[in-house]
Chains A and B, each alone.
Chain A
Amino acid sequence: MFEETVEHRLRPIAAAFAESDLVRIRVADDAAEIELRRAVPNARAVAPGSGGEQTNRTYDVITAEVVGVLHFQRPPVEEGYSLDGDRELAQIEALGIRNPVRSRGAGRVACIYVAEGQPVDYGQPLFAIDRS
């Protein structure tokens, strides 16, 4: 139950927060409340290996470039998979055309934000790739 909450609700919020320039965000509903604070104004501004305060991991969030329906590449990648280079992870089907979604380099699939057959819109986080 807790894992599912983290998986489906916390991670997208965390990803959106990481992508933003916000320093604090609070999200609440009937069941739960969560507040995220940033230790440094913008984690993205911390260059890899420069020794950010919180973590020395760097993530790239791969987002949707087109509006469409997501289909994973077969066989589908799973969280924890290591990618040895630029790999096609999925396609977004729009107007009958399948637009490839690539990992843009090597890394570890740290998070998958979407499900097979899910509609996605522009800028929606799809995968987080750990480049460290």
Chain B
Amino acid sequence: MFRKILIANRGEIALRINRAAHELGVPTVAIFSEPDRTSLHVRHADEAFCVGPGPAARSYLNVANIISAALICGADAIHPGYGFLAENARFAQICIDHDLAFIGPPPATIASMGDKAEARRKMAEAGVPTTPGSEILRSLDDARAAARQIGYPVLLKATAGGGGKGMRVVDGEDDLPSAFATAQAEAEANFRDGRLYLERLVRKPRHIEVQVLGDRFGTIVHLGERDCSIQKPSHQKLIEEAPAPALSEPIREKLHATALAAARAVGYSNAGTLEFLVDGSEIYFMEMNTRIQVEHPITELIYGVDLVKEQIRIAAGEHLGFAQDDMSPHGYAIECRINAEDPANGFAPSAGTLVDVEFPGGPGVRVDTHIVAGSQIPPYYDSLLAKVVAVGRTRANAIARMERALSETRIEGVPTTIEICRDVLRSEAFRAGGVDVEFLPSRFIADRAVV
């Protein structure tokens, strides 16, 4: 096992990793930016280093200061969490070059899954279904020809992309030239890589992802699926649940088998997630996230596995302690993301001081958070304040528990997503299960606007 782990992140995930390390008996080192000096993740760690001022580019993305801190304090591993440097293959390689274990998959795996066109090609080779699409487009003429072959509507995407940047829906050939130009410019500006490709647009899919876990000796298991279809208009997830409701067993099994085949095809090790679009009985590979996900607790609660501890164990060269047959889910779990955002104003993020904070407790409730009353929410980082997770024997049970938990939750000082989560939980469509990604943006936010 490692001597000491540096946690290259902030907020709730830094605390989550700190807890896993401490339970394994491994001391921890936090990094922080100046505005995060008094943050809970700093207080819980055994040591802490300030690595820069507020803006992430100068602190949580400051590779030189992070590596230097790790070397000075004698850490032998770095856990990147999610976001920031978690899917940066060069950072992973730099860690390895400095004899620091990177708690995640090998750099080459991160690189190949980070390039979306390459990931699609690799998956198609492995027999994993992908949406019909093109190779990298060399020109607008290339795009025209590819779009005709695929059939409109198409989705124009940046191969280096993420977060909806460099992505355009194109309904017909007339719209293609301007969409091509703007997507290319956006991709250049955001990723310094303007390469684009085309995919057929799947209208109103469900977003279902499969958790996988592999050790360095070739053992790979899946830990079931998570339904992440409750998404904001920006395609960011708001509510996730596991297992996916209203999904036929053959499709569920197909998702699991496909995820395992895909993970094996790339020789995956550590924790990873394969995201799929589900359209009726069709499933399409969307992308693979080579890191721990925000919504990992719902899987932990129904499988009784500590994914972050497993990540650390695997990176330390240990064998996975269980096989696929040992793994079966028990019950249902739901996660609501409590963000410092104003749903009435396009989910605009907000910063400020929290004057009052109360979290729920009681049976079947887990809260992963870094905030307390008096916490300052800096403007520099993502707006996640807390993850409220509820587990129950049945889905109805889990929903009732989540409603109870949210009714106990109070955060004063910034607008939050608590109420919109409660509204979703109350809605008949959500209770019936199986809604698609357009549910929240179209029906739900539209409904609220009318009221």
Chain A interface (Cβ < 8 Å from any Cβ of B): 66-69, 94-95, 119, 121-124
- Interface size class of chain B, counting residues whose CB lies under 8 Å from the partner chain: 10 to 19
Known: A67-B72, A68-B72, A119-B73. A124 touches B50 (CB 8 A): yes
B49 touches A67 (CB 8 A): yes
A66 touches B64 (CB 8 A): yes
Known: A121-B50, A123-B50, A124-B50. A67 touches B68 (CB 8 A): yes
The CA of A88 and the CA of B305, in the complex, are separated in Å by 54
Q: Nearest-CB distance from A94 to chain B (Å)?
A: 4
List B contacts of A124 (CB < 8 A): 50
A95 touches B52 (CB 8 A): no
Top-10 shortest CB links A-B: A94-B68, A67-B65, A121-B49, A121-B50, A67-B68, A122-B50, A119-B72, A67-B69, A122-B52, A68-B68
List B contacts of A122 (CB < 8 A): 34, 49-53, 59, 65
List A contacts of B49 (CB < 8 A): 67, 121-122
- Most A CB contacts (10 A, CB to CB) among B65, B67, B73 go to B65
Chain B interface (Cβ < 8 Å from any Cβ of A): 34, 49-53, 59, 64-69, 71-73, 98
Q: Nearest-CB distance from B96 to chain A (Å)?
A: 14
The CA of A68 and the CA of B51, in the complex, are separated in Å by 10
The CA of A124 and the CA of B73, in the complex, are separated in Å by 16
The CA of A119 and the CA of B49, in the complex, are separated in Å by 10
List A contacts of B59 (CB < 8 A): 122
List A contacts of B52 (CB < 8 A): 122
Q: SS class of chain B's interface: helix, strand, loop or mixed?
A: helix
The CA of A69 and the CA of B65, in the complex, are separated in Å by 11
The CA of A18 and the CA of B71, in the complex, are separated in Å by 31
A95 touches B50 (CB 8 A): no
B64 touches A94 (CB 8 A): yes
- A95's partner among B34, B51, B71 (CB-CB below 8 A) is B71
- B64's partner among A95, A119, A121, A123 (CB-CB below 8 A) is A95
List B contacts of A68 (CB < 8 A): 68, 72
- Most A CB contacts (10 A, CB to CB) among B66, B68, B69, B72 go to B68
Q: Nearest-CB distance from A93 to chain B (Å)?
A: 9
Q: Nearest-CB distance from B94 to chain A (Å)?
A: 10
B67 touches A121 (CB 8 A): no
Could you pull out 17 A-B pairs where Cβ atoms are within 8 angstroms?
A: A66-B68, A67-B50, A67-B64, A67-B68, A67-B69, A67-B72, A94-B64, A94-B65, A95-B64, A119-B73, A121-B50, A121-B65, A122-B34, A122-B52, A122-B59, A123-B34, A124-B50
List B contacts of A121 (CB < 8 A): 49-51, 65, 69
Q: Nearest-CB distance from B128 to chain A (Å)?
A: 40
Q: Nearest-CB distance from B34 to chain A (Å)?
A: 6
List A contacts of B67 (CB < 8 A): 95
Q: Nearest-CB distance from A15 to chain B (Å)?
A: 15
List A contacts of B69 (CB < 8 A): 67, 121
The CA of A54 and the CA of B59, in the complex, are separated in Å by 36
List A contacts of B65 (CB < 8 A): 66-67, 94, 121-122
Q: Nearest-CB distance from B273 to chain A (Å)?
A: 32
- Most B CB contacts (10 A, CB to CB) among A67, A94, A95 go to A67
Q: Nearest-CB distance from A34 to chain B (Å)?
A: 19
The CA of A117 and the CA of B72, in the complex, are separated in Å by 11
List B contacts of A94 (CB < 8 A): 64-65, 68
The CA of A93 and the CA of B200, in the complex, are separated in Å by 53
List A contacts of B98 (CB < 8 A): 95
* Further 13 A-B residue pairs, CB within 8 A, beyond A66-B64, A123-B53: A66-B65, A66-B68, A67-B49, A67-B50, A67-B51, A67-B69, A94-B65, A95-B68, A121-B65, A121-B69, A122-B34, A122-B51, A123-B50
